[in-house]
Structure 1
Amino acid sequence: MTQNSPPRTTSVLAPQLGRKERPERRATSEIMRKYGHLLFVLPGLVFFVAVMVGPTLFALVISLTNWTGRGISFEFIGLQNFQDALSYWPLYRAAINNVILFVAMLIFQHTVGLFIAVQLNEKPRFMEFYRAVLFMPVIISLVSTGFIWTLMLSSNIGFINPVLRDLGLGFLAKNWLSDPATALPTVIAVTAWNSVGWAIVIYLSGLQNVPEELKQAAHIDGANGWQTFWRVVFPQLSPSFTALTVLTFIGTFKTFDLVYVLTGPLGSPNYRTDVVGTLIYRTAFGGSGNYTDDISMSFAIALALVVFAFMTLIAWALIKILRRREIQS
């Protein structure tokens, strides 16, 4: 090195700078490695908060007031709406109809739906056609389904009563949706027709996952067809049974469209088909869908939140009980 040459300090400082930067970069990369996947979840989380959590919290705030749905008059009344909801007899009357609907649908789907799924699992000729036809009611909107069945059940222009008379079963012809004895069973029948496709698909998926070796071993041991199904196949369908039961419970307590189209917001006749969905709608917007003097949006929201809490609790209990059954089987 000559005397005029500048001192070489870069060779000493560079490693020191590098040592300072490497830990920072290492820490950053470690953070990205551990939490970088959350960036992909963030858009969905923001959307969920915006359309679910936010409106729910806003509804909870509104339920603590006496807002009727008109104007901007908000008076804080605390938990009064919830106290009134818990002692509101029409809520229990509507909930009883929902429970009847749930029990009837549960029995229908776990018997008729399972039976049809077992038949389709045998792969009969035109199986794909049968499956498409049976699932078709599910993809039809509930409003369209309601209008179709309203026309078919009409005592004036419907064809169900004339067909019954032509078959010599005229004594069965009735005003199906206006007779208090047949209104709710008719709604149950239409709901079953609309949703049986779900039961078939869910059970058919479970049946296709049952190992053939288990059934063959049962036959070798001397089990007949019914014993093989009941002791070998059906226990393997526990996940399908759980999923269908929980979905049926949620679906029946969310029922609104079909009942509204078939029997109106009043649950005619004489509230025999009134469910919690039509009750909440009627409380919020009035019986005819127009504003009336007796509507209360805040009370309707309180009713909805009470039903939501009830559904959450029961659905959680069903999952816990049925999951335990899956483990035992």
Structure 2
Amino acid sequence: MQRSAAPKPPSQFSLTYGHLWFVLPGFIAFLAVMLVPLAIAFGISMTNWSGLGNDLSFIGLSNYAEILTYWPFYRAAFHNAIIFAAILVFQHTVGLYLAVLLNENPRFMQFYRTVLFLPVIMSLVATGFVWTLMLSPNIGLINPLLKAVGLGFLQGQWMSNPSTALAVIIFVTAWNSMGWSIIIYLSGLQNVPKELKQAAEMDGANSRQVFWRVVFPQLSPAFTALTVLTFIGTFRTFDVVYVIAGPLGAPNFSTDVLGTLIYRTAFGGSSFSSADIRFAFGVAMALLMMAIMAGICWGLIRMLRGREIET
């Protein structure tokens, strides 16, 4: 009886790179939905296309050069930076404090976690509409509530005053995103080894010293993740500003952010004519913003990861 041939051993190439076959479908999908549209967008940004008709010509990097001297771009980026700084401080203070309280396993803990995380899963458009109604000087709840508790002097036209409009956007954004900071910090707190805290207590450390000297350094990965996610989220802010303040960032562009600036540049607005629409210029701003955000995120991750290693 003829014996069957022994199976050939896998080649060195298959042993080294065979796993790439499992990555290939996802990489092809990534090419289809990410890189190809990105390449098309870059090609459009090198033209003067308005987005209407077929009248366009190649202008090279002129759009990018114009952005560098385009004042509204810097104004909008400055507003995004203010929102980022305020939200970051809020999440690393209030969010961390609430996470510490929840980590003590209080009564009705699951209820508290659900209520605090609920704003995160709400639609940003719905959130904007709800807060628009609440802040309305005519039918809103905020002004009557302030009057009822003796703070009537704080009543005002919240979204009509340039000095308070951006603060309202920050407050609504903080309320909407607070759940992320609580969940991320709570996860980090629950992963701190109890042995470390017990050892510090045995050495005579009080509860405050245990937290700042033992627990807080262990939260470095959570701090890094939350900082990077907050940066990405705040510089992508659009929905809340668009619903509450409109595409012009009213009043008087005091709430204008990069998202609304790019939107009205590429697609126009209620007060825009077709001659004001510059689709290719808006695409160029979006791509430049993406490149700058990628560079800053890389720098943040590298800096904060280095801090994690030191701690």
> The TM-score by the shorter chain falls in which range?
over 0.9
Identify which range, 40-49 or 283-292, moves more after superposition: 283-292
Matched, 1:320 2:302: yes
Q: Distance in 2 between matches of 1:114 and 1:58?
A: 42
Moved more, 282-291 or 89-98: 282-291
Amino acid at match of 1:259: V
Q: Is 1:186 aligned with 2:168? A: yes
**1:144 partnered with 2:89:** no
Give the letter aligned to residue 91 of structure 1: F
Shift of 1:234: 0.2
Deviation at 1:268, TM superposition (A): 0.3
For residue 121 of structure 1, report the CA deviation from its aligned partner.
0.2
User: Aligned match of 2:138 in 132, 143, 156?
Assistant: 156
Decide which of 214, 235, 240 is 2:196's aligned counterpart: 214
Classify 1:254/1:325 alpha carbon distance in 2 versus 1 (closer, same or farther; 3 Å): same
Q: Larger Rg: 1 or 2?
A: 1
Equivalent position SS for 1:181: helix
Tell me what 1:278 maps to.
Answer: 260
Percent same amino acid among aligned pairs? 63
Aligned pair 1:224/2:206, yes or no?
yes
The aligned amino acid for 1:316 is W
Which residue number in structure 1 is paired with residue 221 of structure 2? Answer: 239
What's the offset of the Cα at 1:134? 0.2
Alpha-carbon deviations, 1:292-313, whole Å to 9, x = none? 2111111001111111111011
Please report the TM-score for the alignment, with normalisation by the length of structure 2: 0.96
Answer whether contact 1:152 1:160 (CA < 8 A) is retained: yes
Q: What residue number does 1:40 align with?
A: 22
1:262 aligned onto 2:244: yes
Tell me how far apart the structure 2 counterparts of residues 232 and 176 of structure 1 sit (CA, whole Å): 43
Indicate whether 1:65 and 2:47 are aligned: yes
Q: Which moved more, 1:148-157 or 1:162-171?
A: 162-171
User: Could you give the per-residue CA deviations for residues 222-249 of structure 1, whole angstroms, max 9, x where no partner exists?
Assistant: 1111111001000000000000000000
- Residue identity opposite 1:55 in structure 2: P
Shift of 1:48: 0.7
Question: Matches of 1:198 and 1:145 in 2, distance apart?
Answer: 16
2:107 counterpart of 1:116: no
Letter in 2 for 1:206: G
Give the distance between the partners of 1:133 and 1:315, measured in 2 at CA.
31
- Number of corresponding residues: 311
Name the amino acid aligned to 1:51. V
| Structure 1 residue 36: Cα displacement | 3.4
CA contact (8 A) 1:285 1:291 kept: no
Which stretch shows the higher mean deviation, 101-110 or 214-223?
Answer: 214-223
1:103 is aligned, of 64, 74, 85, to 85
Alignment match, 1:7: none
* Structure 2, unpaired ranges of 5+: none
Give the deviation of 1:34 after TM superposition.
3.8
Distance 2:156 2:22 in 1: 58
Work out the CA distance in 2 between the residues paired with 1:144 and 1:273: 19
Q: Measure the CA separation in 2 of the matches of 1:33 and 1:64.
A: 44
Unaligned runs of 5+ in 1: 1-10
**What amino acid sits opposite 1:298 in the alignment?**
A
TM-score by length of 1: 0.91
The aligned amino acid for 2:40 is: F
Q: CA deviation at 1:164?
A: 1.0
Q: Stretches of 4+ moved more than 6 A in 1?
A: none
RMSD in angstroms over aligned alpha carbons?
1.8
What SS does structure 2 have at the residue aligned with 1:293? helix
Shift of 1:168: 1.9
Alignment of 1:166-185 (within 5 A): 166-185=148-167
Instruction: Tell me whether 1:199 sits opposite 2:185 in the alignment.
Output: no
